[in-house]
Amino acid sequence: MLPQGVAIDSRTGIVSPSTTVYEKRLSEFRGVYSDTAALDALIASKGDLVTYTVSERKDPGTDIFFGTTVMQPGRVGEEYFMTRGHFHARRDRGEIYYTQSGEGLLLLQSRDGEIRTVEMKPGVCASIPPDWGHRSINTGTEPLVFVWCCNQDAGHDYAEIATRGMRQLVVQRGGMTAYVANPKYEA
């Protein structure tokens, strides 16, 4: 690769030029959100909405890469729109999430089920240690945009979180953001 400048729009999260862009839609999250009836109702009424978009800049011949995630505001029942959540395949690889706009929560979980959160707001750079699962959640009313950076060989392990979710759910109740135990996790 040669040195290059890649423009990041802190409002839209557009990475130009990017190497890969993918979108995640509501229908891909059956079993991820706890309220499946609410998910089906939302798809029936609003269509199969894109909840988040990931834009990557990954160049051959270097170790690290970066990109953006743009998480739309919204909820499925009580639960805010969120990413699937993942551990890295390599247990020695961390990651950095640098919030550009919007507001949200980074929900983290260690392999033994310890939960931590980091507030996501413009200017906060969240440091995700190796072997902590992580999920970003838009608790605001605007798109949540963050730049992430990690080693290209970190890889993804979605299985752990896909099976029973994370220990806590982040929900809106009575107009407030609340953490509640995830019954599926404890089962």
Question: Which residue in 23, 28, 48, 119 binds a copy of itself (CB under 8 A)?
Answer: 119
Question: Which residue in 46, 116, 156, 164 binds a copy of itself (CB under 8 A)?
Answer: 116
By CB under 8 A, how many residues form the interface with a copy of itself? 44
Beta strand 50-57 pairing with 20-25: antiparallel
Distance CA 115, CA 111 (A): 10
DSSP secondary structure letter of residue 27? G
Return the structure tokens found at 186.
């404890």
DSSP secondary structure letter of residue 29? G
Question: Which residue in 112, 123, 174, 186 binds a copy of itself (CB under 8 A)?
Answer: 123
Residues numbered 47-106 forming contacts with a copy of itself, rule: CB under 8 A: 57, 59, 61-64, 66, 92-96, 98, 106
Find residue 154's DSSP bridge partners. Answer: none
Residue 19 near residue 6 (C-beta atoms within 8 A):
no
Q: Can you give the binding site for a copy of itself, defined by CB under 8 A?
A: 1-10, 57, 59, 61-64, 66, 92-96, 98, 106, 108, 116-120, 123-130, 132, 134, 147, 149-151
